[in-house]
A and B are shown apart, each in its own frame.
Chain A
Amino acid sequence: MRWQRLLFSIVAICFVIPLAVLAYLSLSANWYFPALWSHSFTLEHWHWLLRDGSPLTFSLLLSVGLSLSVSVAATALGFFVSRLLAYHTTSTYWLLGAYFPYVIAPVVFAVMLNVYLLRLGLTGTLGGVMLAQLLITFPYAILFFYGFWNERIRNLEHLVRTLGGNFRTVVTQAILPSARGLIAVCFFQTYLISWFEYGLTQFIGVGKVPTLTIMVFRYISEANPHLAALAGLLLILPPLGLLVVNRRFLLHKAWSI
């Protein structure tokens, strides 16, 4: 038992290393080889983040807004479309359609989709990036909710209708109370898909929609590890918060490498 604990402690340290490296670099300045800890430490980067007009603060707000909009739209659409599919189609083969956007890498999908967004005047705009991200998150929400529409929910809906309820009553009195937990999980999962997205956002946004992932790569390209680390930390903190609240929110990550 003791060596099990030791082995897992080593693994746990490996898990914490990314956070430690990011925090260390975000507090470091002039970190040149071969200095490991003899260089100077500063809060300058964090002060810069909090200053008015900081591009990173703008990116943070933009990313939050973008991910919130995408996740709300994807969850709402996916919820009701999955209901239509579950109740009004007999073959599960139709559901395969929802897997379509996942058969190729998002960035390759973006490459081939870009021409249509270009013609619609959406390339390089926030709307274009939102639409592109929605094309990834919406099918996910359909797949996520499809299993929810089982016999029990159907019977519950029938019960409310039998008692004189209309569609609105069915939704508010039968469906939503049963689906509240699932809706929250789906919302956070689609939020994270959008939050972590880089390739598709970069290609469709052509750098004009500077989300946090775009800023991380920009700072990496500029060989500025301190700001890249700071932006990276800002990317990790919300999912970390979700982990503290509820670990179920994170399980989607399996699909988003």
Chain B
Amino acid sequence: MRKVALIVLLLGCVAPLALSLGYGLMYSLGLIGLQSEGFTLSFWAQLLSGEFARSIIYSAYVAGASTVLALGAALALLFSCRLHLRRALPYRLLFLPLTVPPLVAAFVVFQLLSGGGVLARAAWHFGLISDTQAFPELVHDPYGVGIIIAHGFLVFPFFLLVLLNIWDNEQLDELGRVAASLGVAKHRVFARIHLPLLMRGIFPLLALYVIFFMGAYDIPLVLGQSSPRMISVLVLEKLQRFNLADIPVAYAMASWYALLCIATIALLFTRFKRRYSL
């Protein structure tokens, strides 16, 4: 039975990724593919041209900013409305954004924040702008504002739910009361007790979210600019172009991105396993 279990696990979970990664690496090294002429590192060398690096940096920036925004909003609401959030209706409302698919969230953000969107129309009615061009660029913009807002909207209620859970499990109310009775100032209770314990609890989730956001596709596809693009969008765009020479480069990008993710997760797992009970 042990063998059956392991075979099913390997076939269903490990083999697809291993085979995919193997194919991607071999294609990017010129060993297979339509234009294969034998082993070459030229497609890997093209990754150094800047487009790949820019895309990875841009993806990391968007992922980091989205996570910080979601975490900041969740913490702000936790510390300002914690008691109110214990009530049935507000607590239930926190689940509402979880019903929105990323693609639909992107569409809604576009309809709200684009030059022809709801906010721009409201601004026109209030006489703040005279045409669509005058409205600030909030989607398809270089800073990924739309993407970050859409990510933040989708994830911050979930972060808040997790933080509420940590608050209860770590009995932070009691710890705060004990500290206050020992004469610790309110801001020090926040900085020395509440925040560190909350951050310790949510750190693994934050790390995973940075990785998930980096690979996001649906939202950047609708709200992202044409250059630099998020890594998933860039890989797919390269693959779907008519230029056959772009295909090995796309596989090189996908393989290196996958290896980067695997290395990051492995590092997180081994380095922080004990501290954060991963």
Contacts and interface: CB of A to CB of B under 8 A. Distances in A.
B125 interface: yes
Interface of B: 1-2, 4-6, 8-10, 12-14, 16-21, 23-24, 77, 80-81, 83-85, 90, 92-105, 107-108, 110-112, 116, 118, 120-122, 124-125, 132, 151, 153-155, 157-158, 161, 205, 209, 211-219, 221-222, 231-232, 235-236, 239, 250-251, 254-255, 257-258, 261-262, 265
A51 to B, nearest CB: 23
Contacts of A35: 121
A8 B84 contact: yes
Contacts of A108: 215, 231-232, 235, 254, 257-258
Nearest to A88: B2
Between A108, A138, A142, A242, the greatest number of chain B beta carbons within 10 A of the residue's beta carbon is seen for A108
A243 B96 contact: yes
Contacts of B205: 254
B96 A15 contact: yes
A97 B13 contact: yes
Interface residues of A, number: 76
Contacts of A25: 111
A112 B265 contact: no
A101 B17 contact: yes
16 contacts: A1-B83, A4-B81, A15-B93, A15-B97, A18-B105, A81-B5, A103-B17, A105-B212, A105-B215, A108-B215, A109-B16, A196-B103, A213-B101, A232-B103, A254-B158, A257-B151
Given A84-B5, A108-B258, A21 B12 contact: no
Interface in A56-109: 77, 81, 84-85, 87-89, 94, 97-101, 103-109
A230 to B, nearest CB: 11
B251 A112 contact: yes
Between A89, A111, A138, the greatest number of chain B beta carbons within 10 A of the residue's beta carbon is seen for A111
A36 to B, nearest CB: 4
A53 to B, nearest CB: 25
Contacts of A228: 107
A84 B1 contact: yes
Nearest to A232: B104
A256 B104 CA distance: 13
A250 B98 contact: yes
Contact of A81 (B9, B23, B107, B216): B9
A139 B12 contact: yes
